[in-house]
Chain A
Amino acid sequence: MSQPAGALPGWANKALLPALNIISAFLVTGIVFLMIGESPIEAAKIMLYGAFGYQEGFGYTLYYTTNFIFTGLAVAVAFHAGLFNIGGEGQAYIGGLGAGLACLALDAYLPAWILIPLAVVASALFGAAWAFLPGYLQARRGSHVVITTIMFNFLASSLMVYLLSHVLKDPGQMSSSSREFAEVAWLPFIHNMLAGMGISFDESPLNVSFFLALVCCVLVWLLIWRTRWGYELRTVGSNSTAAVYAGIKPAKVIIWVMCLSGALAGLVGVNEILGVQHRLLLDFSAGYGFVGIAVALMGRNHPVGIVLASLLFGALYQGGAELAFDMPNITRDMVVMIQGLIILFCGALEFMYRPLLVRLLSSKAA
C-alpha cells in the first residue's frame, strides 16, 4: 500500500479521504437498493433501529462486533509486519475446534474457572497453529502467505467436515455437530450478568468475550506501538533490509506475527463456541474471517479504528438481519455485498480521490 507522490495535509489524509471512501461505498449500496425497488432511506432506518433501537438488537450488534474485533485485529497485526493474512476464516474455524476439543474432553472433570481459561488458550493456540505453517513457509521457504493462507482455509474446512461427520459427531444428532458441552464450559451471557446485578436486559448472544475483545485491542495497541517486539514487527513490515541491519531476524518475526494473528482470529471460537453455540458445528465461522479484512482496512489497522469499524459491521450484520425480516426482497447477502464494496473503496481504491484532493487543496492554497 504505497502512497503515491503529492502531499496532502494530515487531516485530509486521515479523515477526509477515508470518509469519502466510505461514503462512496454507501452511495453504491444506495443505488443497488434503488435498483431493486427499495428505499435506501427506509432501509437505513430499519437497520439502525434493528442494530441499536432495542436491547436484544443491540446485544446482537455487540455480539457480532466481538467477532469482527478479533478477526480485524488478526488482519491488522499481520499487516503491520507487511503480511496479508487472508486465512482468518480458517484460523477462526480451527480456533473454535481447539475450544471445542478442550470442552468435550474436560467438561466432565474441571470446574469452570479452570476449564474456561483452558479453552480460551486452546482456541488461541489452535488458531496460532493453523497460521504457523503459512508463516513458517513464508519465512523459511518464501512461499507467499496470501496463497498458502487461502489454501489453509480450504484445508480447515475439509478437516472440520471430516471431524464433525466422522469423529466428533453426536450419534443422537441428525446434523453434523458435536454433543452440547456441560454448562461449566459456557461463558456467562451479559444479560445474565446484568440480571445478577439487578439490571434487566433482554436476552441476546452477547457474552463476556466482548470484554476479552476490548482487552485484546488494548494489548495489541501496546504491543505494536509500545514494546520492542512491536518495534521489530513494524520494522520488518516497512523495511525488512533495515530490520536485518538492525539485528532483527525477519523470519522469526514473520513466524511469530503469523502465530499471533492466527491466535487472535482463533479467539472467534471463544465467542462462538464457548459463548453462544456451546457445541462444535459446521461453518460457525460464517465469513467472519473475511469481514476482518474489511474491518482492518476501514479501521486503518489501528485498534480504535478497528473497534469502530467492527461496530459498524456488527450493526450491518444485525441490522441486515432485521432488514431481511422486514423487506422480503432482501437477505443478509446484502451485507456481504456492502462488505465487498467497503473493501473495494476503502482498500483497493483507497487512493482514488487522492489526485483530485491534491488538485483541489493545492489550487486553494495557491
Chain B
Amino acid sequence: MDFYVIAVLTLDATVRVSAPLILAALAGLFSERSGVVDISLEGKMLAGAFTAACVAYLANSAWMGLAAAIVVSWSLAMLHGFACITHRGNQVVSGVAINILVAGLSIVLGLVWFHQGGQTPNLPNTARFTEIVLPGAEAVKNVPVLGELYYELIGGHNILVYIAFAAVPVVWWIVYRSRFGLRLRAVGENPKAVDTAGISVAWLRYRALMLNGVLCGMAGAYISTAQNAQFVRDMTAGQGYMALAALIFGKWRPVPVMFACLLFGFLDAVAVRLQGVEVPGIGVVPVQLIESLPYILTVVLLAGFIGKAIAPKAIGEPYTKER
C-alpha cells in the first residue's frame, strides 16, 4: 500500500512536469513538420512565463495572463518566421537569438517594472490556475486504490494540464485528418511539391509557426502561473530543450511525443523522489544522473542505437524558387 501511494504520487508529479513539455513539444511539432527548425521553444516559453506572470499580477487574472503570454510568444514565433521564412536566415541562429534575447529582456523589463531583482511579485491564488477538484473526488478520496487514483492522479490538476493532454489528440487529428495537416506534412518533406500545387510555402509555414507560438505561450503561462506563482530568472531551466528532445524522441509524431514527454517527466519526478534516498543494493543514486537521462536517451536515439529518428526531409532549409 505504501508503495502504491508513492507510485501514485510519483505519477501525479509526472503528469504535472510533463504538461508544459507536451505543450512545447507539440508546438515544436508544428514548426518542424513544416520544415522550420525550432530551438527557440525555450525562449518562447520563457517569454510566455514572464508575460503571464506580469499580466496575471496586474490584472489579477490568470486567463488574462495566459492570453498575454500567447500574444507575446506568438509574436516571437512570427519574428522567427520573419527571419527564417521571409529572409531565409539560418533557422538555428534565429532560434539561438530568440532564446538569448528573451533571457536578457525578461530580466531587464522585470527589474524596471517590479524592482524585485527581475522577479515578478508573488501571485495570489486568484491570479493563478489552481487545482480543479473533480466532482465526487472528495467523497471517494478515502476509497482505497481507485479513490486515490481518481483524487490524486486523474483529478487535482489545473486546467492547463487537461488542455495539454487534450491537445495531443487534437494535434493528431489536425496533422493526419485535415487539409492543413496534409499540406503541413508535405511542406516539411518537399516544399516544391507544395509550391507547384499552387499553395504558398511561406504562408503555410507561417501558419505552422502561429500554432507553435500559441502552444509555447500556454506552456510558458503554465510554468509561472500554474506550476509556480511568480516569474523568476531563467525559470524554464532548459524545459524548452527538453521538449525539443522529446519531439525528436517521439519522432515528430504527436502520440509518441506525448509518451516521450511523460517519460522525461517521470524521470524528473523520480529524481526528486530519490534525492538523498538510499536505494537498497545500489546506494545513493546521483540525482544528476537521473536528470541527465532524457538528454542521454535522446543522444542515444539520435545515434541510431534505439530505432532511428528521421527528421522531415526539408527541415532547416530555407525555401527558394529556382530557375
Out of A151, A337, A348, A352, name the residue touching B93 (CB < 8 Å).
A348
Residues of A within 8 A of B299 (CB): 133, 137, 143, 148, 151-152
Out of B88, B288, B303, name the residue touching A137 (CB < 8 Å).
B303
CA distance in complex: A334, B107 (Å): 8
For residue A2, give the distance in angstroms from its CB to the closest CB of chain B. 7
Contact B101 A341 (CB under 8 A): yes
A293: Cβ under 8 A from any B Cβ: yes
Contact A154 B241 (CB under 8 A): yes
Could you name 8 residue pairs across A and B whose Cβ atoms are closer than 8 Å?
A86-B96, A293-B93, A329-B112, A330-B111, A340-B101, A344-B83, A348-B90, A350-B89
A142: Cβ under 8 A from any B Cβ: yes
B196: Cβ under 8 A from any A Cβ: no
Digit string of B82-112 for contact with A (CB within 8 Å is 1, else 0)? 1110011110111011111111110111011
B306: Cβ under 8 A from any A Cβ: no
A261: Cβ under 8 A from any B Cβ: no
CA distance in complex: A61, B79 (Å): 32
Known A86-B96, A162-B288; contact A144-B302, beta-carbon cutoff 8 A? yes
Digit string of A139-168 for contact with B (CB within 8 Å is 1, else 0)? 001111011101110110011011000100
- The interface centre, meaning the residue of A335, A338, A344 with most chain B CB atoms within 10 A of its CB, is A344
Digit string of B299-323 for contact with A (CB within 8 Å is 1, else 0)? 1001110000001000000101000
For residue B61, give the distance in angstroms from its CB to the closest CB of chain A. 24
A333: Cβ under 8 A from any B Cβ: yes
Interface of B: prevailing SS: helix
B291: Cβ under 8 A from any A Cβ: yes
Out of B37, B94, B298, B303, name the residue touching A344 (CB < 8 Å).
B94
Digit string of A255-295 for contact with B (CB within 8 Å is 1, else 0)? 00000000000000000000000000000000000100110
Q: A147-B248, A329-B112, A333-B107 are in contact. List 15 more A-B contacts (CB 8 A).
A: A2-B88, A84-B93, A133-B299, A146-B37, A147-B302, A148-B299, A151-B298, A152-B295, A152-B299, A293-B96, A331-B118, A333-B104, A336-B103, A340-B99, A344-B94
Residues of B within 8 A of A84 (CB): 90, 92-93
Contact B89 A334 (CB under 8 A): no
Contact B112 A331 (CB under 8 A): no
Residues of B within 8 A of A144 (CB): 302, 311
B279: Cβ under 8 A from any A Cβ: no
Contact B108 A155 (CB under 8 A): no
Residues of B within 8 A of A143 (CB): 299, 302-304
B232: Cβ under 8 A from any A Cβ: no
Known A154-B241, A155-B292; contact A335-B92, beta-carbon cutoff 8 A? no
CA distance in complex: A333, B93 (Å): 20
Contact A336 B100 (CB under 8 A): yes
Contact B87 A352 (CB under 8 A): yes
Interface residues of chain A, those whose CB is within 8 Å of chain B, are: 1-2, 4, 32, 36-37, 84, 86, 133, 137, 141-144, 146-148, 150-152, 154-155, 158-159, 161-162, 166, 290, 293-294, 297, 329-331, 333-341, 343-344, 347-352
Contact A343 B97 (CB under 8 A): yes
For residue B244, give the distance in angstroms from its CB to the closest CB of chain A. 7
Residues of A within 8 A of B298 (CB): 147, 151
CA distance in complex: A86, B111 (Å): 29
Residues of A within 8 A of B124 (CB): none
Contact B105 A337 (CB under 8 A): yes
CA distance in complex: A362, B299 (Å): 49
CA distance in complex: A58, B88 (Å): 39
Residues of B within 8 A of A294 (CB): 100
In the complex, which residue of chain B has the Cβ closest to the Cβ of A340? B101
Contact A329 B94 (CB under 8 A): no
Contact A349 B92 (CB under 8 A): no
